[in-house]
Amino acid sequence: MIKKHLNQNAVKDQWEVYQNKAKAVWKSYQKEIVRTTAGVVVACIVSVGGAAMIQPNAYAVSYNGELLGYVEDTALMDAALQAVKDSVSQETGVQEVAVDMAGLDVERTRVKTRSTEFATAESLTALLLEREAYVCEAYSIVVNGTPVLGVASEDDANAILEAVKNSYSQGNSKIISVEYKETVEILPSDARDVPVVKDVGSGLNYILTGTEEPRTYVVEQGDTLWDIAHANGMSSAELIAANPGFDPNRLKIGQTLNLVAMKPFMTVVITEEVTETESIPFTTQYTNNSSMYKGQTSVITAGKNGSKEVVSKVVSENGIVTSKEMLSETVTAEPVMQTAYKGTKALVYTTASGKTVSLSNPLASIQISDGYGASRGSRRHLGVDLRASKGTPIYAAADGLVTKVSSTGSYGKLVVIDHGNGVTTKYAHCNSFNVSVGDTVTRGQQIATVGSTGNATGNILHYEVLINGSNVNPANFLN
């Protein structure tokens, strides 16, 4: 792909040869005009190979054997050649541009001035540019032997590669190594063989995306990934692919998204030590508060998250992390513990009519031996079993009416209290009763003692809470 490294001096030599030749021709031409006008010689007959030739009055300009046109004045040729150099220099940023003198041929000739349309400097410039009649030595970034991008100088090429690396770095890091999966070189090359960019920024975009000016979109409020993708003729997957490292679940207002698929020419593998600041969540120390309901909390003194600096070794390929390993962790600010009240008051049940019912513990000390819903063969445990020694007092969970006192079946000795508002509690496996059916009880009043009657496996209180006839987990009402 790379053309031979043309020797700038050789080109200059050719240019001088041409100019000297042209000057000589021009001088002799002027002499002839002088002679002609002086009337000393009316017609100058030049004998070439025995054939007669009429006096030349123009120059034929050819490139690689193709006649481009006639000029009357070599100054016009000079202007055209300078314009070619300036134009290429302007377009590529390369200062040293030479005209390909080897292919250029300027020959004295005779034309019929009336019927000949002479070339202008502009027309010659255009024709020469069209035929790339110049030598422009650029530097190319060559990937696996293929020049992908040309720039004016080796420095610019290096700056572009540096920018490519930086754009893929995770940031806030110490770069340990940068490697390419491909063979990447900077080599002198002919600007005619490779797309040439004038500045480092365009070069960076070109290397990353394959185009000098990638289209982007800035995320606005209310945007969804789908909206953005479809408004720009892309699928969501294409949009995601065009933005490596972008988390589609975290679309941020003001975020710039690439609308052109990233087609990097190379794979940059970066190993770096990335330093990130992470938050250390504060802990909360609770103080029980019996005037607040269970589950309620109230901050006494606010806590504050601490922070730590975490250094990780991160390996990424074109910005996408392929491995991350924590190296060290330094606490920069200790978290401040929060203090808060925690409610212990029994939970309330809100009835359909909006009334609330709260239940207090049926035993002074709660120790659950078997939870609600535990398997009982083909059935589920409808209450909680609370461990206590035989004879421990059992208290009414709330005000209510004793609707059942019985001593049969698997429940053994059982008390059932209707608290109104659809709430019922059951106390089973009792040892003795303190109430009878029809008694009105108040919250905390002793109704029975713990025993092991019925199918109890030990001294336990089997405690059930029913709301509108359905069992609920009594643990929710224990505190």
Residues that bind Zn ion (CB under 5 A): 385, 462
User: Which residue, 250 or 379, has its beta carbon nearer to Zn ion?
Assistant: 379
Provide the β-strand partners of residue 44.
none
Cβ 390 to Zn ion shortest distance, Å: 16
C-alpha–C-alpha distance, residues 135 and 103, integer Å: 11
User: Which residue, 327 or 374, has its beta carbon nearer to Zn ion?
Assistant: 374
Cβ 377 to Zn ion shortest distance, Å: 13
User: Which residue, 275 or 471, has its beta carbon nearer to Zn ion?
Assistant: 471
User: Which residue, 97 or 388, has its beta carbon nearer to Zn ion?
Assistant: 388
User: Which residue, 69 or 451, has its beta carbon nearer to Zn ion?
Assistant: 451
Cβ 385 to Zn ion shortest distance, Å: 4
Please give the DSSP secondary-structure letter assigned to residue 407.
-
C-alpha–C-alpha distance, residues 397 and 442, integer Å: 8
Side chain identity, residue 129? L
Cβ 326 to Zn ion shortest distance, Å: 49
Residue 416: partners with Cβ closer than 8 Å, 6 or more residues away: 402, 403, 404, 405, 424, 425, 426, 427
DSSP string, 94-122: -S-EEE-TTTEEEEEE---TTT--PPPHH
Contact 138, 189 (CB under 8 A): yes
Kindly tell me the burial class for residue 68, based on how many C-beta atoms sit within 10 Å of its own C-beta (0-12, 13-18, 19 or more): buried
Tokens 């940068």 sit at which residue?
178
Cβ 460 to Zn ion shortest distance, Å: 7
Cβ 476 to Zn ion shortest distance, Å: 16
User: Which residue, 100 or 385, has its beta carbon nearer to Zn ion?
Assistant: 385
User: Which residue, 413 or 462, has its beta carbon nearer to Zn ion?
Assistant: 462
- Rounded to whole angstroms, what are the CA distances from 13 to 16, 39, 99, 182? 5, 39, 12, 40
Which of 442, 436, 148 has the alpha carbon at shortest distance from 266? 148
Cβ 341 to Zn ion shortest distance, Å: 33
Cβ 223 to Zn ion shortest distance, Å: 56
Contact 187, 194 (CB under 8 A): no
User: Which residue, 221 or 378, has its beta carbon nearer to Zn ion?
Assistant: 378
Nearest residue to Zn ion, by Cβ distance, number only: 462
Residue 439, SS3? coil
Which of 123, 43, 30, 110 has the alpha carbon at shortest distance from 83? 123
